[in-house]
């Protein structure tokens, strides 16, 4: 059984002040297996953060079906949503002060999610030490975040995200503020922990090199899945030949193909020998013109 199943997920933000509705997700369809490490890539404003917020139980879907494990996120009440958030999900954000409290040391930070679950002090301290050792911060436990480097702060954030043993780890551009070497380091820890704990992980990134280190890459454009591909054979984003065909027969063509076409115009479809061709000129007309000339 797939661990995460999303069907026709729609999220519309409603800004009451100006009575404006912004469709951020416009029919997302996704299946993610347990333990998979997925990256989500896509242009700014395409709905990546919104999808993570819905998966994290931090934003309510407007319509559609969304299941994580045995939890139907589209059916949660405010109370059950907050329990889901607290028990099931770990999050790691780009901006460090969303992950950590600046006034206390990182061991105390890692203890907080465990405190909320009522885990006894001794056990909390042991788990916090274990987790911080696993992200290479065993000598820094008594340091406050301001005394750490950018990479170390994100590693401490990762330890915090895993402290309550979540089933789903969601990261929104966690390497966005890091140089490529430090980003690579964080990713190695991310991957090792993800495998060791068998957690399903989803990471949003702008960076194709970062996305390459995950199992599978999913591309979102304008609030819809436009393509997906296992990462092992991808050299560039243009090697992504898989496009998603939704149940209504819709596909979203990759940007570099859209750029070669004239948009907001019809396209013609031909089927020949099990292959499908898309043309912007009516091929019958093209043939007729050719015959006329001959
Ligand atoms: N709270 C909100 N209220 C109204 N509109 C919003 C809100 N949050 C996001 N949006 C809009 O929803 C759309 C998707 O936004 P989202 O933040 O999910 O994009 P993103 O892919 O994460 O972009 P970026 O790469 O810049 O972080 C955008 O048009 C955005 O302006
Ligand atoms: Mg975003």
Tell me, using a 6 A CB cutoff, whether residue 50 lines ligand 1: yes
Q: Are strands 168-172 and 89-93 parallel, antiparallel or unpaired?
A: parallel
Which residues lie near ion ligand 2 (Cβ < 5 Å)? Answer: 49
Residues 271 and 208 in one domain: no
Please report how many Cα atoms fall inside a 13 Å half-sphere around the Cα of residue 253, on the Cβ side. 13
Residues 67 and 163 in one domain: yes
User: Is-contact 197 117, C-beta < 8 A?
Assistant: no
pLDDT confidence of residue 41: 93
Tell me the C-alpha distance between 187 and 155, whole Å: 9
Residues 74 and 218 in one domain: yes
Q: Report helix, strand or coil for 2.
A: coil
User: Is-contact 185 151, C-beta < 8 A?
Assistant: yes
User: Is-contact 204 40, C-beta < 8 A?
Assistant: yes
User: 96: which residues sit within 8 A by CB, 6+ positions away?
Assistant: 145, 150, 153, 154, 157, 177
Q: Note down pLDDT in tens along the chain; length 294 residues.
A: 799 999 999 999 998 888 899 999 999 999 999 999 999 999 899 999 999 999 999 999 999 999 999 999 999 998 999 999 989 999 999 998 899 999 999 999 999 999 989 999 999 999 999 999 999 999 999 999 999 999 999 999 999 999 999 999 999 999 999 999 999 999 999 999 988 989 999 999 988 888 988 999 999 989 999 888 888 878 887 777 777 888 888 888 877 788 888 888 888 888 989 998 888 876 667 677 778 877
Tell me, using a 6 A CB cutoff, whether residue 42 lines ligand 1: yes
Residues 55 and 151 in one domain: yes
Residues 122 and 209 in one domain: yes
pTM of this structure: 0.89
129 CB-contact burial (10 Å; exposed 0-12 / middle 13-18 / buried 19+): middle
**Closest-CA residue to 8 (of 28, 30, 22, 32):** 28
Q: How many structural domains is the chain composed of? A: 2
Residues 159 and 280 in one domain: no
pLDDT confidence of residue 282: 67
User: Is-contact 227 242, C-beta < 8 A?
Assistant: yes
Residues 252 and 289 in one domain: no
Tell me, using a 6 A CB cutoff, whether residue 145 lines ligand 1: no
| Separation of CA 121 and ligand 1 centre (Å) | 40
Tell me the C-alpha distance between 43 and 254, whole Å: 12
| Separation of CA 38 and ligand 1 centre (Å) | 20
| Separation of CA 176 and ligand 2 centre (Å) | 11
Residues 226 and 282 in one domain: no
Q: Give the strand order in the sheet containing 71-72.
A: 20-32, 4-15, 63-68, 71-72
Residues 139 and 268 in one domain: no
Residues 79 and 218 in one domain: yes
Tell me, using a 6 A CB cutoff, whether residue 224 lines ligand 1: no
Looking at ligand 1, which residue's alpha carbon is closest to its atom 11? Answer: 24
Residues 169 and 190 in one domain: yes
Tell me the C-alpha distance between 255 and 67, whole Å: 30
Tell me, using a 6 A CB cutoff, whether residue 22 lines ligand 1: yes
| Separation of CA 58 and ligand 1 centre (Å) | 14
Residues 215 and 274 in one domain: no
Range of the domain at 121: 4-260
CATH code (residue 110)? 3.40.50.300
Tokens linked to 248: 């209504």
pLDDT confidence of residue 126: 96
How many other C-beta atoms are found inside a 10 Å radius of the C-beta of residue 262? 9
Tell me the C-alpha distance between 59 and 76, whole Å: 11
pLDDT confidence of residue 283: 67
Residues paired with 39 in a beta bridge: 203, 217
pLDDT confidence of residue 183: 93
Tell me, using a 6 A CB cutoff, whether residue 294 lines ligand 1: no
């Amino acid at each position: 059984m797939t661990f995460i199943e999303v069907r026709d997920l729609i999220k519309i933000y409603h800004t009451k002040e100006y009575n404006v509705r912004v469709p951020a997700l416009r029919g997302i369809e996704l299946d993610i297996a347990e333990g998979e490490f997925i990256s989500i890539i896509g242009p700014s404003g395409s709905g990546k953060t919104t999808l993570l917020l819905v998966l994290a139980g931090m934003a309510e879907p407007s319509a559609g079906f969304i299941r994580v494990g045995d939890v139907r996120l589209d059916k949660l009440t405010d109370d059950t949503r907050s329990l889901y958030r607290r028990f099931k999900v770990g999050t790691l954000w780009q901006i460090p002060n969303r992950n950590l409290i600046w006034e206390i040391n990182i061991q105390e930070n890692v203890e907080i999610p465990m405190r909320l679950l009522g885990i006894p002090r001794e056990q909390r301290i042991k788990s916090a030490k274990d987790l911080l050792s696993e992200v290479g911060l065993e000598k820094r436990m008594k340091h406050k975040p301001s005394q750490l480097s950018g990479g170390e702060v994100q590693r401490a954030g990762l330890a915090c995200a895993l402290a309550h043993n979540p089933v789903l780890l969601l990261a929104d551009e966690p390497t966005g503020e890091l140089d490529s070497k430090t980003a690579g380091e964080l990713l190695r820890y991310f991957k090792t922990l993800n495998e060791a704990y068998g957690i399903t992980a989803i990471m949003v990134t702008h960076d194709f090199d970062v996305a390459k280190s995950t199992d599978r890459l999913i591309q979102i454009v304008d609030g819809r899945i436009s393509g997906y591909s296992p990462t092992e054979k991808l050299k560039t984003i243009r090697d992504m030949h898989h496009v998603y065909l939704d149940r209504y027969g819709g596909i979203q063509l990759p940007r570099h193909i859209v750029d070669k076409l004239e948009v907001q115009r019809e396209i013609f479809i031909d089927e020949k020998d099990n292959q499908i061709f898309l043309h912007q000129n009516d091929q019958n007309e093209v043939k007729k013109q050719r015959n006329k000339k001959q």
